[in-house]
Structure 1
């Protein structure tokens, strides 16, 4: 089974084009089994505003108190996951939504409960559960919500969740979907980027904002042997004629794992 993990950020869900789904079908026609992980940041922020709960971030991670966690889970599993599964159906795909805490799918531990609250990092992935969904002809669509040993739900950064799932599934490919063609430096698309180049671009601010965790997650997935790691567009074809389009993240200089 050739697995490809695709991370769709909440900000790009409504921008996914017909060409994106055409590329997804081409992947499947070439024998790949997609696993989709999604975020939902903008929708979460809107709901927090509605409830009068301030949004706070530390080092790019959302500080998540108990009330915020309730909103995060409600939005991700009750709205965003449904929205993406509906999009999949409308474009001819069979998908199955999975809350990451279901069936111990994403087992996690607190990063720093005192500082961040209910925010976690994945320590184990139930690959058997994900594989079972794929083997029965469905595309898993997974929310980045983990479950801790104490039974608490934990908010997981979606990019880091995708990287962890790609590692656990030994995915041949891991792709991070954005609303741009890939990594742009000075307005120019970079076709390939290694770790030292990425760190330099992050340091000088050429890579900034929400692209930083995507690049870091892509580097992490590549270093762990997740296969070819790409940052791709959700608006244009990202795969055609057995060729990927976007920015390839290189694990070691001159070599894609």
Structure 2
């Protein structure tokens, strides 16, 4: 059985095309079982602004107070997850939406509570639950809300959640779907990059902002079962050889 974890960035969720859903269907036809993890950046920020809840970004991560955590959960689990799951089902693909807090699907602990607030780092994934969904032919659609050992909720960066799920599920591939064709340098796509090169590119400012947690999550998910990760344009047409973008290797 081949598993592919597909992470959809918040910036692309409002503009997903038939091509994107067709690619998921093609994966299933090839015997690949997809798991979709999504963010919701712009929708979260819009609601935070409407409710006058302030937050900031530190190292590419959204700082999350208790009030902000309520908004994050409301938007990710209540709106974005339902909307994306419905779209997938509308394209004749059986999908079911979950918050990471459902069935303790994602468990986490605070990265640095004083610095980031309720922002979590994944400590465990309920792989048995996900395996049951995949065995039933269902595409799990996951909002990156996690629970801690003390019952607290945590906002987990969607890139980090996707990487942890790919690692713990022994996925064959992990694809970060974005609105750009990959990691860019001087307006050109870098086709291949190693973990060591990523560190240098972050230090040199080539990789910055929200791309930092994305590439760190991608690199951190690499292991014996997952030798490379791809950052790719969500709107491209999948070919016989798969997606094209930036491939990150160990």
| TMscore range, shorter length | over 0.9
TM-score (norm 1): 0.93
Shift of 1:227: 3.8
Counterpart in the other structure of 2:73: 73
- Pairs within 5 Å for 1:204-243: 204-223=204-223, 225-237=225-237, 239-243=238-242
C-alpha distance in structure 2 between counterparts of 1:136 and 1:220, whole Å: 29
**Counterpart secondary structure, 1:121:** strand
Counterpart in the other structure of 1:145: 145
TM-score (norm 2): 0.95
Shift of 1:46: 0.7
Map Cα deviations across residues 54-104 of structure 1 (whole Å, 9 max, x no partner).
122222222211111111000000001011112212222111001100101
Relative distance call for 1:196 and 1:34 in structure 2 (3 A) is same
**Counterpart secondary structure, 1:209:** coil
Shift of 1:225: 4.0
Aligned pairs, number: 250
* Structure 1: gaps spanning 5 or more residues: 252-257
Map Cα deviations across residues 154-178 of structure 1 (whole Å, 9 max, x no partner).
1101101100000000000001011
Contact 2:55 2:63 in 1 (8 A): yes
Map Cα deviations across residues 32-65 of structure 1 (whole Å, 9 max, x no partner).
1000100011111111111111122222222211
Map Cα deviations across residues 156-202 of structure 1 (whole Å, 9 max, x no partner).
01101100000000000001011011122111122111122222222
Shift of 1:146: 0.6
Contact 1:171 1:227 in 2 (8 A): no
RMSD: 1.4
C-alpha distance in structure 2 between counterparts of 1:242 and 1:30, whole Å: 12
* Structure 2: gaps spanning 5 or more residues: none
Counterpart in the other structure of 1:12: 12
